[in-house]
């Protein structure tokens, strides 16, 4: 494959083995200047060493970018997604998916600031992330060149990667027990793929889970917390105002303590194959439950139902990498418009892997006890329900008179029901 003429490339760089190999490979194969970009998304690992590693490869200090993106990540990406109560295929809270548009955005910003003509990532040719990164790049800068080493090089095995690293003096960390799984982490979640998980019938070992205690080992006493919402976003826990990232960090701590947020799923990747993954999303699991609870008393019925109908489409757009698309922005505007009155507090009970809503309150609540009470009331005439029912049944009544054979076929043979 003929190499393009690239002068400078911005690499999404973690400082780990794979991206260190990519850094060296870019220098050798493209002969270009490399700019490294390391994002702190709250992944729980030290990002500062990435600078020292980049310097060892001859990267100029002014070409090394390490950015703390935790607040922007939660405020501008996680929270908007949770306003929609977003879940992909019924279970996945999109922890990896929602981080990619932010990383893409920052790479393009750095490329423009440094005069780079290319961006590069370490996603493989089998996964979703290559699509997510590159759709982001090209949405934000259609002229940018994209280098995806996994689709170009012949280092297609762990053995070849290690040989390349040894040949080029790339440090291979040996300290501590290294997880055998392919993992991704940020403030919203941690994911595990590969190794024994490639057999969807093989239960993962307990020591795979790095964040949460097992529900069996969680405290035997339930814990209560209260989350305050303003315009659909959580703003305080137990009466203490917090920033977006700080709120998610606190909810993660609660969730991890009580064994909340573990899932084991087989999902449908955008590129075509099914993939088995395990995820820990402790704070997100709590947020989803709480947000639906506050919406239950502040949203109109049809408004809430339409949101639920739109959500799978919205989730699919994020999963497939279309965060920057006009259709996602359109849906976001509709979703955000519903959140004006989503204000109030939700009380939750956390216990052994469970999140239970035990209270919800809002000054803008649409819940009317005087209308829904089982006791005597003066605001609702139960006799009105007869006309309501007959009007809704009118088409059935007409059909029964005009096409009685259809009704008879639905009723069936009553004799077959006799004992």
Is the distance from CB of 229 to CB of 241 less than 8 angstroms?
no
Give one word for 142, left, alpha or beta, with left for phi > 0 and alpha for psi -120 to 50: alpha
User: CA 235, CA 244: separation in Å to the nearest integer?
Assistant: 7
Is the distance from CB of 92 to CB of 67 less than 8 angstroms?
no
Does 182 participate in catalysis according to the annotation?
A: yes
Alpha helices in 119-215 (DSSP H): 129-140, 158-167
Of 14, 18, 120, 233, catalytic: 18
Nearest to 206 by CA among 122, 128, 262: 262
In angstroms, the Cα distances linking 363 to 101, 146, 236, 289, 347 are: 36, 51, 17, 20, 15
Does 100 participate in catalysis according to the annotation?
A: yes
Close Cβ partners of 376 (under 8 Å, ≥ 6 residues apart)? none
Token pair, residue 341, equals 């009155």
Of 141, 182, 336, 365, catalytic: 182
Which residue matches tokens 């809503």?
357
Does 18 participate in catalysis according to the annotation?
A: yes
| 3-state SS class at 190 | strand
Of 100, 132, 262, 328, catalytic: 100
Q: Which residues are catalytic?
A: 18, 100, 129, 182
């Amino acid at each position: 494959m003929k190499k393009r003429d690239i002068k400078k490339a911005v690499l999404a760089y973690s400082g780990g083995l794979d991206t260190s190999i990519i850094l060296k490979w870019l220098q050798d194969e493209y002969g270009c200047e490399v700019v490294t970009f390391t994002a702190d998304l709250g992944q729980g690992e030290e990002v500062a060493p990435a600078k020292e590693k980049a310097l060892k490869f001859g990267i100029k200090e002014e070409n090394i970018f390490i950015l703390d993106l935790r607040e922007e990540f939660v405020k501008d990406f996680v929270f908007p997604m949770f306003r929609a109560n977003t879940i992909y295929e019924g279970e996945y809270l999109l922890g990896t998916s929602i981080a990619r548009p932010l990383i893409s955005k920052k790479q393009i910003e750095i490329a423009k600031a440094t005069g780079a003509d290319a961006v590069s990532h370490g996603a493989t040719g089998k996964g979703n992330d290559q699509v997510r990164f590159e759709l982001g790049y090209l949405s934000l800068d259609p002229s940018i060149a994209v280098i995806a080493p996994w689709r170009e090089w012949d280092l297609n095995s762990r053995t070849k990667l290690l040989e390349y690293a040894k040949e080029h003096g790339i440090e291979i960390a040996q300290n501590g027990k290294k997880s055998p799984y392919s993992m991704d982490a940020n403030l919203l979640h941690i994911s595990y793929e590969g190794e024994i998980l490639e057999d969807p019938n093989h239960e993962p070992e307990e020591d795979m889970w790095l964040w949460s205690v097992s529900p069996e080992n969680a405290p035997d006493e339930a814990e209560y917390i209260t989350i305050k919402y303003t315009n659909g976003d959580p703003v305080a826990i137990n009466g203490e105002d917090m920033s977006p990232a700080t709120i998610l960090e606190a909810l993660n701590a609660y969730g991890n303590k009580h064994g909340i947020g573990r899932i084991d799923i087989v999902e449908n990747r955008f590129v075509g194959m099914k993939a088995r993954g395990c995820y820990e999303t402790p704070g997100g699991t709590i947020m989803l439950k709480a947000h639906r609870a506050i919406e239950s008393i502040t949203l109109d019925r049809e408004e809430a139902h339409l949101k639920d109908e739109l959500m799978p489409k919205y989730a699919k757009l994020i999963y497939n990498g279309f965060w920057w698309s006009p259709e996602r922005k359109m849906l976001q505007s509709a979703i955000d418009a519903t959140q004006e009155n989503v204000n109030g507090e939700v009380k939750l009970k956390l216990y052994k892997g469970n999140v239970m809503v035990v209270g919800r309150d809002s000054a803008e609540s649409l819940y009317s006890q005087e209308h829904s009470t089982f006791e005597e009331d003066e605001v609702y005439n139960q006799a009105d329900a007869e006309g309501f029912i007959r009007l809704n049944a009118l088409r059935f009544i007409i059909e029964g008179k005009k096409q009685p054979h259809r009704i008879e076929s639905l009723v069936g043979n009553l004799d077959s029901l006799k004992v």
